[in-house]
Amino acid sequence: MSFAQKVKTEIISKPIKDDHCKIAFLSGVMRGSGVLFERDGELGVDFRIGTEQGAEFVSLLLKSLFNYDVREISVSENNLSKNDRFEISVTGKEAITILKTLGILTGDDDQLTVDFDFYGKICKKDCCLRSFFKGLFYASGNCTVPTQGKSSSNTGYHLEFTFSHVASAQATADKLSQIGLSPKVTSRKGKYVVYIKSAEEIKDFIAFLPAPVSVLSIIDLMINKEIANNSNRQKNCDLGNLNRQVTASINQINAINKIEKSVGLKTLKDDLKTVAIARKNNPDQTLVELADELGISKSCLNHRLRKIVEIANDIKG
**Looking at beta carbons only, is 134 or 203 nearer to Zn ion?**
134
Residue/partner pairs of 118-126 with CB below 8 Å, 24 or more apart = 118/31, 118/168, 118/171, 118/172, 118/175, 119/171, 119/175, 122/23, 122/24, 122/27, 123/24, 123/175, 125/20
User: Does position 125 bind Zn ion by CB under 5 A?
Assistant: yes
Query: In whole angstroms, how close is the CB of 103 to Zn ion at the nearest point?
Result: 13
Residue 29 or 221: the one with the smaller Cβ distance to Zn ion is: 29
- Of residues 17 and 184, the one with the C-beta less far from Zn ion: 17
Q: Out of 16, 88, 128, 255, which residue is the one contacting Zn ion (CB under 5 A)?
A: 128
Q: How far is the CB of 69 from Zn ion (least distance, A)?
A: 25
Residue 20 near Zn ion by CB under 5 A: yes
Is the Cβ of residue 128 or residue 194 nearer to Zn ion in the bound state?
128
Nearest-approach distance from CB 4 to Zn ion, in angstroms: 24
Among positions 7, 12, 16, 21, the unique one binding Zn ion when judged by CB under 5 A = 21
Q: Is 210 in the site for Zn ion (CB under 5 A)?
A: no
- The answer to whether 127 contacts Zn ion (rule: CB under 5 A) is yes
For Zn ion, which is the closer residue by CB, 128 or 193? 128
Site for Zn ion contains 101 (CB under 5 A)? no
Contact segment (CB under 5 A) with Zn ion among 119-127, 244-252, 293-301, 306-314 equals 119-127
| Shortest Å, Cβ 24 to Zn ion | 6
Q: How far is the CB of 128 from Zn ion (least distance, A)?
A: 4
Contacts with Zn ion, residue ranges (CB under 5 A): 20-21, 125, 127-128
